[in-house]
C-alpha cells in the first residue's frame, strides 16, 4: 500500500520562508505526476503547484515568483519551497499524486483531477 506523508509545516511570520516535503512510498514515484494543494477553513481545495512525471511545472498565479516546486526521484520526495509568505497563504497543505499511465496530462491545478492524497501539513503565517 502506498503511503503519502507531508512534513515541514509550522508557524512563520509574514515575509518568512518554509520548505514542505512529501514522501510517497513504493517503486513508482518517478512515474507519478505530483502536486501541492491547500485548503483554508471554510474554503475549497486550491491547487498551488504541480510537477509532472517529465519535470514540467505549473503554478497558481497567487504563488508565482514566491513558491518553487521540485522533486527528487531518488528519494521519493516532493518539495515546496515557499518564500515571501503572506497571511493569506495560511492553510492545510496537501500532497497529491496521479499515475502518468492513468492520466497523461499532469499539470492540472484542479483538485478533482487527482485521486490520491496525503493528510496534509498545516502552514500558518502571522501578520
pLDDT at 74: 98
Q: What is the mean pLDDT of residues 7-34?
A: 98
Mean pLDDT of 33-46: 96
Instruction: Record the cell numbers describing residue 85, joined without a space.
Output: 509568505
pLDDT band at 56 (very low <50, low <70, confident <90, very high): very high
Dump pLDDT digits (tens) for 61-73: 999 999 999 999 9
Looking at every residue in the chain, the average pLDDT score rounds to 97
pLDDT digits (tens, 9 = 90+) for 72-92: 999 999 999 999 999 999 999
DSSP 72: E
CA 56 to chain centre: 14
Amino acid at each position: 500500500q502506498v503511503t503519502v506523508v507531508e512534513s515541514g509545516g509550522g508557524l512563520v511570520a509574514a515575509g518568512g520562508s518554509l520548505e514542505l516535503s512529501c514522501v510517497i512510498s513504493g517503486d513508482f514515484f518517478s512515474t507519478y505526476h505530483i502536486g501541492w494543494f491547500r485548503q483554508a477553513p471554510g474554503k475549497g481545495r486550491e491547487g498551488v503547484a504541480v510537477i509532472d512525471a517529465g519535470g514540467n511545472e505549473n503554478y497558481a498565479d497567487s504563488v508565482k515568483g514566491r513558491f518553487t516546486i521540485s522533486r527528487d526521484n531518488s528519494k521519493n520526495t516532493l518539495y515546496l519551497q515557499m518564500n515571501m509568505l503572506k497571511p493569506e497563504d495560511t492553510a492545510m497543505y496537501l500532497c497529491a499524486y496521479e499515475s502518468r499511465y492513468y492520466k497523461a496530462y499532469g499539470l492540472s491545478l484542479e483538485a478533482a483531477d487527482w485521486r490520491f492524497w496525503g493528510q496534509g501539513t498545516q502552514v500558518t503565517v502571522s501578520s
